[in-house]
Amino acid sequence: MYDIIIIGAGHAGCEAALAAARMGQETLLFTLNLDAVALMACNPAIGGTGKGHLVREMDALGGEMGRAIDDTTLQSRMLNRSKGPAVHSLRAQADKRQYQKRMKRALFSQEHLTVRQGEVVKIETVNGRVTGVVTATGDHIPCRACVVCTGVYLHGRIYIGEAQWNGGPQGLLPATGLTSSLVDLGFSIRRFKTGTPARVDARSIDFSALEPQPGDEPPVPFSFLTDHKIENRMDCYLTYTNPRTHQIILDNLDRAPMFNGAITSTGPRYCPSIESKIVRFADKERHQLFLEPEGYNDEEWYVQGMSSSLPEDVQWAMYRTIPGLEHCILTRLAYAIEYDCIDSLALSQSLGALQVAGLYLAGQVNGTSGYEEAAAQGILAGINAALYVQEKEPFVLTRDQAYIGVMVDDLTTKGTDEPYRMMTSRAEHRLTLRQDNADLRLTARAHALGLASDERLRRMERKARETADIIAYLKAEKKDALLRHPENTLDPLLPDPSLYTMGAREQAEIQIKYEGYLQKAQAALRDARAMEEKLLPADAPYMDITGLRMEARQKLSAQRPRSIGQAGRIPGVSPADVAVLLVWLKKQEKE
């Protein structure tokens, strides 16, 4: 008997399992293949625009991804440095094999956690509550809660030109049994598509023809606990497509599954295939490609920006038109993969299924794309599965509290009809939801859950205290006005900068330089929070509330919003409907 069973050991499953076990629940993690734990099936990197915020927030909550990438970094860069701190986003190249080993060690050394290879084909329920799972080999395992983190494996189908077959990513097997169980539990299933570029033998690359892209010095860690020095060990490289590349692709569009009707599912808008880019941006003479190492001692390189499902002969021809790749050897072909996922509107903001108690879903099965999006959902689902077993209230992050809250609210309130990707532009409160203050926002809450250690809490409290001390000193000495000049920095204004941590100095400088903007942002936050704190009853009789339009009644009854704020974001619920809800809620409170 386990408290919680996690299905899938990708980035979502790893974080879900670790969170549940660290909260004291006996947890079983199932994976189709133990060699694929935390596999980076696509690009060998963690972070990026918007995604770096998610990793920092997971770290503040006691997650593992930030620490794992800090231990296996090949190169680190802070994106968007020319812009304001709200959109600064950390990105690190990973040694993908070492990252897997590092995450696997965390799993196998975690108390209360068991890891097994096997395929789960059924989730068992009694009276609308999870009671166990059944494996493909016939094992019935009882549990009190279950987290589904199946990634792109559900009925996965691979496409390379005219060739297609059932399979998971990177030559792994698909999961064929669980979809029907999800349908039986009332979920609506849809098909999404993603893809990956070819990998290239490093010995066949002419690096002298490429533009080196070194990392930042000094590298910035992801985890607020990382003390060891991170080193930039390898460069990445830039190159470009050209008219010859484009002509080869255009001449073979009738053989591309996305264009000849073989693939009808929806692909990611913000990570399109090269054939889609050539057609969509026909006026562009070239597209940027980014060559990334897959490991320090790995012979394969990843060609970011060249995702494709074109036939093998076309792939060889088009890749060899690229400067630096004229004699390249493709070690692994590019491919597209179709897979089953659910309609995320079937979930609450805890990532729990609305119709099945004790069932949670996280990652690409919810219609998202990306390692970071998956892992962030995983830690939230793992936390809430543990709280469900403990018979405690769910842990919910709202849009004004975290990027994780923005993503989950988007999924559970608006839904998604394409693979969802986190971006800074999705967060209306991004000035206050910066990656540099994720610890200040979330560590205390994680500590209360038992996920953040005492040491993590002490570090956060020291950072907050030192930040306040620096700001008080600057204002007392009338130096805060000097710091507001764009050309001035903090350290020369302090008697001894070494007395304060780098994180506190960064925080103080941002708070002084952007004080006016932050005050306005805080006012907007207070208004948003007031609407989020007006909670709606879980059993609210929306169909009987006089004054609500029929569309609003149906949408509210189906999605069961947690708050007035969430209700107002549901498509089909108008401001007039929200006003009716406010009046109804006030009347209920009086009664």
- d(Cα 172, Cα 192) in Å, to the nearest integer? 18
Neighbours of 548 (CB within 10 A): 23
Q: Is residue 49 part of a domain?
A: yes
Mean pLDDT is lowest, of 109-113, 218-222, 267-271, 493-497, for 267-271
Residues linked to residue 289 through DSSP beta bridges, in sequence order:
239
CA atoms lying within 13 Å on the CB side of residue 412 = 30
Tell me the per-residue pLDDT of 183-237, one tens digit each, with 9 for 90 and over.
Answer: 999 999 999 999 999 999 999 999 999 999 999 999 999 999 999 999 999 999 9
- 31 shares a domain with 66: yes
Tell me the per-residue pLDDT of 542-591, one tens digit each, with 9 for 90 and over.
Answer: 999 999 999 999 999 999 999 999 999 999 999 999 999 999 999 998 88
Instruction: Tell which of 528, 552, 574 closes a domain.
Output: 528
- d(Cα 354, Cα 347) in Å, to the nearest integer? 5
Entry pTM: 0.95
Residue 539 pLDDT grade (very low, low, confident, very high; cuts 50, 70, 90): very high
Neighbours of 116 (CB within 10 A): 14
Instruction: Tell which of 293, 314, 336 closes a domain.
Output: 336
3-state secondary structure of 495: coil
Residue 256 pLDDT grade (very low, low, confident, very high; cuts 50, 70, 90): very high
CA atoms lying within 13 Å on the CB side of residue 380 = 31
Please state, for a pLDDT cut of 70, what percent of the chain lies above it.
100
Token pair of 393 as six digits? 């209230």
- 105 shares a domain with 235: no
- 235 shares a domain with 377: no
- 542 shares a domain with 522: no
- d(Cα 421, Cα 266) in Å, to the nearest integer? 14
3-state secondary structure of 484: coil
3-state secondary structure of 146: strand
73: nearest Cα among 226, 187, 189: 226
Q: Is residue 51 part of a domain?
A: yes
153: nearest Cα among 340, 427, 395, 415: 340
- Domain range spanning residue 576? 535-590
Mutual orientation of helices 312-319 and 243-251 as an angle, nearest 10°? 170
Residue 343 pLDDT grade (very low, low, confident, very high; cuts 50, 70, 90): very high
Instruction: Tell which of 320, 336, 352 closes a domain.
Output: 336
Residues linked to residue 147 through DSSP beta bridges, in sequence order:
6, 360
What does each C-alpha distance from 542 to 154, 409, 571, 583 come to in angstroms? 35, 20, 16, 13
**Would you say residue 270 has pLDDT above 90?**
no
Q: Is residue 434 part of a domain?
A: no
Helices (H) and strands (E) in the chain, counts: 19, 20
Q: Is residue 431 part of a domain?
A: no
- d(Cα 291, Cα 298) in Å, to the nearest integer? 14
**Would you say residue 114 has pLDDT above 90?**
yes
User: How many domains does one find in the chain?
Assistant: 4
- 170 shares a domain with 39: yes
**In the prediction, which pLDDT does 25 show?**
98
| Alpha helices in 353-453, H assignment, sequence order | 371-389, 403-409, 438-449
User: Which pairing describes strands 113-117 and 27-31: parallel, antiparallel, or unpaired?
Assistant: parallel
Q: Is residue 447 part of a domain?
A: no
Q: Is residue 68 part of a domain?
A: yes
What sign has the CA pseudo-torsion 339, 149, 425, 50?
negative
Give, as one character, the DSSP assignment of residue 352.
B
Length, in residues, of the chain: 591
Neighbours of 115 (CB within 10 A): 20
- d(Cα 459, Cα 438) in Å, to the nearest integer? 13
What does each C-alpha distance from 190 to 365, 381, 515, 538, 555 come to in angstroms? 10, 21, 46, 27, 20
Task: Assign residue 560 the CATH number of its domain.
Answer: 1.10.150.570
Task: Assign residue 213 the CATH number of its domain.
Answer: 2.40.30.260
547: nearest Cα among 570, 579, 518: 579
- d(Cα 307, Cα 257) in Å, to the nearest integer? 13
- 522 shares a domain with 555: no
In the chain, % helix, strand, coil (3-state, to 5) comes to 40, 20, 40
- d(Cα 295, Cα 96) in Å, to the nearest integer? 6
Task: Assign residue 488 the CATH number of its domain.
Answer: 1.10.10
Please state, for a pLDDT cut of 90, what percent of the chain lies above it.
96
- 239 shares a domain with 295: yes
**Would you say residue 528 has pLDDT above 90?**
no
- 166 shares a domain with 64: yes
- 547 shares a domain with 517: no
Tell me the per-residue pLDDT of 173-184, one tens digit each, with 9 for 90 and over.
Answer: 999 999 999 999
337: nearest Cα among 170, 214, 485, 476: 170
At residue 50's C-alpha, the angle toward residues 342 and 192, to 5°, is: 25
- 131 shares a domain with 25: yes
Q: Could you tell me which residues come within 8 angstroms of residue 524 by beta carbon, excluding any fewer than 6 positions away?
A: 428, 429
353: nearest Cα among 128, 513, 580, 33: 128
- 255 shares a domain with 110: no
Tell me the per-residue pLDDT of 299-328, one tens digit each, with 9 for 90 and over.
Answer: 999 999 999 999 999 999 999 999 999 999
Mean pLDDT is lowest, of 13-22, 260-269, 406-415, for 260-269
Residue 395 phi/psi, 5° resolution?
A: -95, 115
- 464 shares a domain with 384: no
3-state secondary structure 528-562: HHHHHCCECCCCCCHHHCCCCCHHHHHHHHHHCCC
Task: Assign residue 389 the CATH number of its domain.
Answer: 3.50.50.60
Q: Could you tell me which residues come within 8 angstroms of residue 190 by beta carbon, excluding any fewer than 6 positions away?
A: 265, 266, 340, 341, 342, 343, 367
Q: Is residue 446 part of a domain?
A: no
Q: Is residue 439 part of a domain?
A: no
